[in-house]
């Protein structure tokens, strides 16, 4: 499995974020019935049925524990842009990882300022593919927002996997279902939702001609996996585009990312956070109480 180059990964994120927003704008104004249309046991089948009947799209949906997976097989989903999007590069990210070991969150990073230069994002979604993906998102949101309201019945995470079954390109987005509701009803910004959603793109030869998604590792996503993955991703996003100036204090910015993410989800299943700057060999240990001192719980 070989990772795609940065410009294509950024293109994937930008394209998916735009299409999800389109779906939200189309659907947020619709009133919902007080009676549920879908129940936990039939939400996967419901998404498949809506996609097939209303959009003539053959997708596969599966519910594993509290994680809903949606597999979308398409062909030739990317195309080269006529006008590439340009952005500055100020840092090189050699490492950005986060894991929970023996009750300690281990955060390692190696981020180096580099001479500023202009980069271009050359690829984006094909218009026809984008329309199909947007229809899948509309079906997904329609089913999820029409299901029974008991908290235990709702999925906790959703994984949307879009596969180019002709070229073997795969992109996935993993999101926390309460985040979807928050952005839909204006409790968080669109930009914040983008940062909370985990995006991954890779080459997968097994995806070629695969209509079932049989190559996927279907599993239940845990909050621990999601939090550690989001911390690492937020660090990359902060320094890739970048969101900070070249003179920024890297250690300080990384710490802000970690604290913000942990506070956002009120994630407390750890005793300490160890930040290790691999370039300077500087280590900082923060106790859990330090991170949550004065923190306010996000409302919804």
Assigned domain for 262 exists: yes
Do 155 and 268 have their domain in common? no
Domain end, chosen from 171, 190, 219, is at 219
Structural domain contains residue 137:
yes
Work out the pLDDT band at 230, boundaries 50, 70, 90.
Answer: very high
Q: Are residues 133 and 267 in the same domain?
A: no
| Rounded distance between C-alpha atoms, residue 74 and residue 171, angstroms | 11
107, 134: one domain:
no
Please report the pLDDT score of residue 39 as a whole number.
Answer: 78
83, part of any domain: no
How many domains, in total, are found in the chain?
2
* Predicted TM-score of the model (pTM): 0.87
pLDDT for 77 equals 93
Q: What's residue 14's pLDDT?
A: 53
Q: Per-residue pLDDT averaged across 255-282, rounded?
A: 97
Q: Same structural domain for residues 95 and 59? A: no
Angstrom distances, CA of residue 277 to CA of 238, 261, 286: 16, 19, 14
Both 7 and 151 in one domain: the answer is yes
| DSSP of the chain | -EEPPHHHHHHHHHHHHHHHHHHHHHHTTS---SS-SB-GGGHHHHHHHHHHHHH----EEEEETTEEEEEEEES--EEEEEEEEEEEEEEEEEEEEEEEETTEEEEEEEEEEEEEEEEEEEEEE-HHHHHHHHHHHHHHHHHHTTB---GGGS-SEEEEEEEETTTTEEEEEEEEHHHHHHHHTTSS-HHHHHHHSEEEEEE-GGGTT-SS-TTS---PPPHHHHHHHHHHHHHHHHHHTTSS-TTS-HHHHHHHHHHHHHHHTT----SEEEEEETTTTEEEEEEHHHHHTT--PPP-
Shared domain check, 131 and 184: yes
pLDDT at residue 147 in the model? 84
Sign of the dihedral through C-alpha 43, 46, 52, 54: negative
Do 238 and 287 belong together in one domain?
yes
Mean per-residue pLDDT of the chain: 88
Sequence-distant (6+) residues with CB within 8 A of 19 are 125, 130, 133, 134, 137
Q: Which of 168, 195, 219 finishes a domain?
A: 219
Report the C-alpha gap between 3 and 20 in whole angstroms: 24
Q: What is the model's pLDDT at position 241? A: 87
Would the pLDDT of 148 be above 80? Answer: no
pLDDT score, position 32: 45
Do 13 and 150 reside in the same domain of the chain?
yes
Query: Is 84 part of any domain?
Result: no
Q: What digits encode the pLDDT tens for the residues 170-179?
A: 999 999 999 9
Tell whether 68 and 195 lie within a shared domain.
Answer: yes
What pLDDT digit, counting tens, does each position of 6-36 carry?
444 555 555 555 455 545 444 444 444 456 6
Q: Tell whether the model's pLDDT for residue 95 goes beyond 60.
A: yes
Average pLDDT over residues 158-167: 97
Domain that holds residue 259: 89-117+229-292
């Amino acid at each position: 499995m070989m990772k795609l180059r940065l410009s294509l990964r950024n293109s994937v994120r930008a394209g998916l974020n735009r299409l999800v927003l389109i779906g939200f704008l189309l659907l947020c104004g619709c009133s919902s019935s007080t009676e549920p249309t879908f129940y936990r046991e039939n939400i996967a089948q419901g998404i498949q049925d809506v996609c097939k009947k209303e959009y003539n799209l053959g997708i596969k949906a599966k519910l594993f524990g509290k994680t809903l997976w949606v597999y979308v097989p398409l062909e030739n989903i990317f195309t080269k842009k006529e006008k590439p999007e340009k952005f500055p590069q100020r840092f090189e990210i050699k490492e950005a990882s986060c894991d929970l070991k023996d009750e300690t969150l281990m955060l390692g990073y190696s981020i180096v300022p580099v001479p500023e230069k202009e980069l271009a994002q050359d690829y984006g979604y094909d218009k026809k593919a984008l329309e199909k993906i947007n229809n899948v998102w509309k079906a997904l949101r329609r089913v999820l927002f029409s299901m029974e309201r008991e908290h235990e019945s709702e999925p906790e995470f959703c994984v949307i996997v879009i596969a180019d079954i002709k070229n073997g390109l795969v992109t996935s987005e993993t999101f926390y279902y309460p985040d979807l509701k928050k952005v839909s009803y204006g409790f968080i910004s669109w930009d914040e939702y983008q940062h909370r959603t985990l995006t991954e793109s890779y080459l997968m030869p097994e995806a070629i001609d695969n209509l079932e998604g049989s190559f996927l590792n279907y599993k239940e996503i845990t909050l621990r996996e999601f939090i550690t993955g989001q911390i690492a991703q937020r660090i990359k996003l902060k320094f890739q585009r970048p969101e900070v100036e070249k003179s920024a204090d890297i250690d300080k910015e990384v710490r802000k990312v970690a604290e913000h993410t942990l506070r956002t989800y009120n994630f407390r299943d750890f005793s300490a956070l160890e930040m290790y700057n691999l370039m300077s060999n500087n280590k900082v240990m923060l106790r859990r109480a330090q991170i949550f001192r004065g923190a306010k719980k996000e409302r919804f």
